[in-house]
Structure 1
Amino acid sequence: MKKIYTLIATAFMIAFCGCAGTTPAAEAGMKVEKEVATYKIAAYSDLESTKSKLTGAGFEIVGTYKTDSGTSVLYTNAQMKAMANKENRGLAAVGRLLVDDERKQISIANPIYFGKAFMQKEYNHATSAASLSALEKAFGPSKDSADKWEFDGLAGYHFMVGMPYYEDMTVVGEGATADLVAKAKAAKGTTAVVKLSDDRYVAFVSLDRRTNGFVKKIGTQNGEILPWAVLIEGGKAKALSAKYFIAISYPLLTMSEFMTIATVPGAVENDLKKIFK
């Protein structure tokens, strides 16, 4: 969060909030802006037109999910899956965009922003940049969202000292990979289960309706944060810490806004554990 934190922040604030970490400089020769937009905003098209544009651009649509302001669309392609088919990197295999019927716009989760955050030292700029280029060609000129973060800080992002990093995932289930996949597929509201290899899948599951309500409080414009992603590999079902994923998806939130959803991280974990118990 782009704020100056005081030394007298309450213990509650410290328990939930945070700031960015530091990471090595951008890869040599890589042409990226110092600050990278979290989302790219394109002209509005309805859901069916959006799906047609995605498939026309060479993407596979793996699922859609109704949000409070429109529909979240999940997509992938062979290059994205190959890039992310590594331990703890599978979440980068699937991109997200929001058909925002309320604001009459398309909000695309920037593949460069989330690619760098999720792939970290294994980030492949060629793949992420190619995905963004294909999306912008399909949807026309786009503008940067107000939400953004420094590129060099994305790989080591965390919200505050003591707060979780990308790699601090929560294990929400254990067992044979096939059994965990079966539980994900059987869960009510599951949008997609994407196979990356025989022992690596990414599932997109629905949280409890009350848990999902946090998006209304902090901004439906970034509603593609839902459905929640779970990485299944090595006999474990793992999810990003909600404190991490919400923060990196909403990098402009204030402390007071975070305080309004203080119970959400625990609720997310409980909802996911119910699915994989």
Structure 2
Amino acid sequence: MKHLIISAITLLLVHFSSFGQDLSPYIKVGESSNSIQEVSDKVIQTLKDNSFTVLGAYNPSNKSTLKVIAFTRNDLKNTVIKVKDRGALGAVMKIGLVAKGDKIIISYTNPDYLLRAYLPTTYNTYKSQFEKFSSDLKITLSSLGDEFKPFGGSVQADKLGNYHYKIMMPYFTDPIELAEFSSFKEGLNMITNNLKANKGNTKEVFRLVYEKEEVAVFGVGLQSKENGESYFLPKIGEDHVAALPYEIILQGKEATMLHGKYRIALHWPELTMGTFMKIMSTPGDIEDALEALCKQSDI
């Protein structure tokens, strides 16, 4: 009986510690004295050697001191697509590289953080699969560093599914509709062609297409010097570079994006209102750029 009581108390403590746990959007792997290209090559090869799929890479703000590598794995990709309300956004994780002095800082998006936010009502259904993905990713990246320190602010785990920055600010469930097409194929072709043409100073970083489910996620680099990454990233923090690129998700005939006031806040949860005000135009600028990719190009 005594052992049963102790076991029950232990389970309760584990449950409540998890319930109130703070999670951060990023995890620092470590630092390297190699060049950013050498580190990037090693990251990509390490991911490939451990059954992860690299979807694309680029230099945010067109800066050689910043690099992002987008990747997924079949189990994650095939699980999140079961969630109809934009679950595919959770399929793509990113590794960020930032050159500081003679060191390259290596970090990645925390799957436990993002998946709780992007699958607000179904995370617990697939929790064991997501925890295995997160654990395997950590083991894979351990050859690149041994710090694994969370950073970038924090949000209580149980609040991520209903996250918003401040009162009256948008939630995950308040996406912006960019366009409605006559078919999934039309939408896929139009966005593809506009990205190939670099319409609106954009760049395709990655795409993930589920043909059967008629879902596609595009990672879009925002290359305008006036109002793209070069404008807003230095103001809110380049250490969070793994937040990029921004996404368009096409589901059936409809293309949407996460509201900038939600997505930026989610990836920079420690932003003060004063700093947020410095990029007041950015959510609208991003919407304009992504909306342009969903329209017929002018002839």
Q: If the length of structure 2 is used for normalisation, what is the TM-score?
A: 0.79
| Structure number, greater radius of gyration | 2
Question: How many pairs does the alignment contain?
Answer: 251
* CA drift at 1:148: 1.6
Q: Which residue of 1 aligns with 2:36?
A: none
Q: Which residue of 1 aligns with 2:246?
A: 228
- The one-letter code matched in structure 2 to 1:111 is P
- The one-letter code matched in structure 2 to 1:79 is D
What is the percentage of aligned positions where both structures have the same residue?
23
* Correspondences of 1:1-277 after superposition (within 5 Å): 34-44=21-31, 46-67=39-60, 68=63, 69-85=65-81, 86-87=83-84, 88-102=86-100, 104-123=104-123, 124-140=126-142, 141=146, 142-175=148-181, 176-186=183-193, 187=195, 188=198, 189-198=203-212, 199-209=214-224, 210-212=227-229, 213-277=231-295
Question: Which one has the bigger helix percentage?
Answer: 2
* CA drift at 1:211: 2.0
Q: Which residue of 2 aligns with 1:13?
A: none
The answer on whether the counterparts of 2:152 and 2:269 sit within 8 Å (CA) in structure 1 is: no
Q: Which residue of 1 aligns with 2:4?
A: none
Distance (Å, rounded) in 1 between the aligned partners of 2:273 and 2:161 = 22
Deviating runs (4+, > 4 A) in structure 1? Answer: 27-33
The answer on whether the counterparts of 1:43 and 1:139 sit within 8 Å (CA) in structure 2 is: no
List runs of 5+ in structure 2 lacking aligned partners: 1-13, 33-38
* CA drift at 1:191: 1.3
List runs of 5+ in structure 1 lacking aligned partners: 1-26
Distance (Å, rounded) in 2 between the aligned partners of 1:224 and 1:255 = 22
The answer on whether the counterparts of 1:65 and 1:226 sit within 8 Å (CA) in structure 2 is: no
Distance (Å, rounded) in 2 between the aligned partners of 1:130 and 1:28 = 18
Q: If the length of structure 1 is used for normalisation, what is the TM-score?
A: 0.85
The answer on whether the counterparts of 1:44 and 1:100 sit within 8 Å (CA) in structure 2 is: no
- Greater shift, 31-40 or 227-236, is seen at 31-40
* CA drift at 1:61: 0.2
- Assess, with a 3 A threshold, how the Cα gap between structure 1 residues 263 and 47 changes in structure 2: closer, same or farther: same
* CA drift at 1:29: 8.9
The answer on whether the counterparts of 1:73 and 1:97 sit within 8 Å (CA) in structure 2 is: yes
* CA drift at 1:145: 1.0
* CA drift at 1:97: 1.4
